[in-house]
Each structure stands twice: as structure tokens, then as C-alpha cells.
Amino acid sequence: MKYAIIAFVLLLVFGCREKRTSEQAQETRKLITAGGTVTEIVHELGFGDQIIATDITSTYPASMQELPSIGYRNQIKAEGILALGPSLIMAEEGYMTPDVVSQLQAAGIEIQFFKKPTTIEGTRAIIMEIADYLGVSENGAELLSQLDKDMAALSNYLSDKSEQPSMAFVMARGQEMVFVAGEDTFSASLMQMAGIRSAGVGFKDFVPLTPESLATMNPDYLLFFESGLQSIGGKEGVKNIRGIESTTAFQKDQILAYDGLYLSGFGPRVGKAALELAKAVRIKP
């Protein structure tokens, strides 16, 4: 009995010591994230205070915008990252150039890549992949549980809605660079989730928006990133897009704009984004 008690005490002591060691290791970890979806998930899993820098697409939560920025995709330089002294970089696949990745790995920095999702299935996969990688599978399961609740709310809302208005997503970077989204894009997936018909059919990815394509599509709604809409002068600037005045969307002032990461990230908030979009085309002000 005496030896059993001693063994139990030793187990408690060493167990607590190992737990403290693990906690200390997490406290000293310095993370850099690249890609808004990865950043959001890492933060929501409880590692926000370990992120020391991120990229310009990481706009959520707002506190991430206060951190040092490593830039955007091919603008990212290894020297800038090395100066920050990270112990781990977590990024979307293809976000950094091969040369930068090689330089960082040569410097002994661990880099882990994750595939950016464009479907709800991809969202579930990346949440658990990151959670497992960080050793917090239970936290990942909690995120999935909330996502399932959001999807259930979306399904419940759409259950008695038969109408399916059409919508075109317009990617704008100033008046001279205006594109429309086709099939196999995040917007097509999001619209499908929201019970909306994508007007961009018969072509894939993004193509230049022309007066002819607008006339053919004639969407009921136009969808923009907030930053894209601002780049063409806001709603007032929409009228300068050639051919836009002939669309139902323009004539009825059915132009919507949302935060870019919220729409395209397909992160933990994707169910909320789809529900908000579904309501926006069905509930009139």
C-alpha cells in the first residue's frame, strides 16, 4: 500500500511537470501565418496570441491587422520573415514562391502548408487538419460543431424558399480590371449553398467582364468584395462598367458587397456568410 501511494505521488508530480513543460513550449512558440483562412482557423483554435506576424489577407479577427505584415504572395521576402524570428510558418499552399520557401527551410524554419478550401467539405477538412497538426483535435471538433449549427440554420431557412434569383460575382481592381466569376470558383460554391443561381456558367475561373457577357447573363444581383467595389468608386462607380445599365441588378439597385475574407475564405464562418447572402436576396428592406 505504501509503495502504491509513493508511485501515485510520483506520477502526479511528473505528470504536472510534463504538462508545465508542454504549456511552456506552446507559450514560447512564434507563429507566422500566411493566408486569411489559415490565420482565422489558427486563431479560433486558441493560438491567436502566438501569432507574431501575418499577411495582408488576414483581416479577421481585426486584431490580426495590428500585427507586422509579411506582405502578399510573390511580394513576400525571406529576409523580412527571418528578421521576425518565427519558429513555425503555417500557410496556404502556393502562397509563397519556391525560392522563398527554400530559403526559409535552409534557415531551419518549419513550414506547414494547407490547401485553401472552396467548398464546405474543404472547410471541414482544413479545420481538422490544422487542429490535428497543432495537437488540439478537441478544439477542432468544437469548431466543426459550430459550423454544423450554422449549416443547419441555413438549411432551415432555405427549406421553404423555392425562388432562386441569379447572381454574378464581379472581381474588380479598378475600372480597367473587372472580371466575372465562372464555374469552379468560391463564389459559385457559396451561391449554391445560399440557394442562388450563379450567372457565370459555361466558363471556369475568372474572365474579363464584357458588355456582351453582361447582356447574356443579366443577373438579378451583382456581388462584390467591399474592397473591389471601393476600387471602382463605390455604387456610383458601378454605372461606369460598360453594359451594366442593361442588367436587372443595376436597374433595381441590387448590388451587394461584403468583406473579401468573409465571402471567399471558406473558413469557420462560411455557414454564416452563406445564410447572410441567402437572406440578402430574399428579404427586401
| Domain extent listing, the chain | 2-116, 165-280
Mean pLDDT score across all residues of the chain: 91
DSSP of 245-281, one letter per residue? Answer: GGSHHHHTT-EEEE-HHHHH--STTHHHHHHHHHHHT
Query: Tell me: the pLDDT tens digits for 217-266?
Result: 999 999 999 999 999 999 999 999 999 999 999 999 999 999 999 999 99
- 2-116 against 165-280: fold identical: yes
Confidence category of residue 29, pLDDT binned at 50, 70, 90: confident
Does domain 2-116 fall into CATH 3.40.50.1000? no
Residue 20 has pLDDT above 70, yes or no: no
CATH number for 165-280 (one of 1.10.10.60, 3.40.50.1980, 1.10.3720.10, 3.90.650.10): it is 3.40.50.1980
- Quick one: pLDDT at residue 283? 82
Residue 240 to residue 234: CA distance in whole angstroms: 11
Query: Tell me: the pLDDT tens digits for 128-165?
Result: 999 999 999 999 999 999 999 999 999 999 999 999 99
